[in-house]
Amino acid sequence: MRPTRVLDLFANLLLAAVVAWIATKAAYSSFPPISVFAGASLLPVAVLEVVLAFVIRARVGDRRIGEGPGRLHPITAARAVALAKASAQVGSLVAGVWLGFLVWILPERSDLRAAAGDTPGAVVGLLASVALVAAALWLEYCCQAPSEPPDEAATS
């Protein structure tokens, strides 16, 4: 499995931002108010992934990998990598949605009271989704297999 490419995440972000900007421009008047809690919805997932990354990193660093108590099962590491890859993709798409939304509402804040009220939630949403991407990339990095020490040359 290959590491997640940052370029792919930026492409997701840009595509989602353009779509969100168009949708916001077309239908902002029918959107419900955006609360700070709505924006922060991805933050608990990011925190969970950071904690998981540190646990996995400690076990990989101590070479406690395999079956048995206190050891990291390889399937668990593979599942954590799958979670990290999915979270990075979702986080980049959601960051793009918040970015596109912000690009439309920031200039409208002086004219529309609703836009001014939606700004804090959108900013928190953008920051939370970027935090999710960062946590996911960190988790993916921590799940890398340890490098094997070079074989010692046999002495006769």
Comparing 27-36, 73-82, 146-155, the range with the smallest average pLDDT is 146-155
In the chain, where the domains are located:
6-21+35-142
CA distance 145 to 143: 6
**Cβ 76 vs Cβ 69: under 8 Å:** no
CA distance 133 to 96: 12
pTM: 0.86
Q: pLDDT tens digits, residue range 12-44?
A: 999 999 999 999 999 988 888 889 998 899 999
Instruction: Specify the pLDDT at position 60.
Output: 82
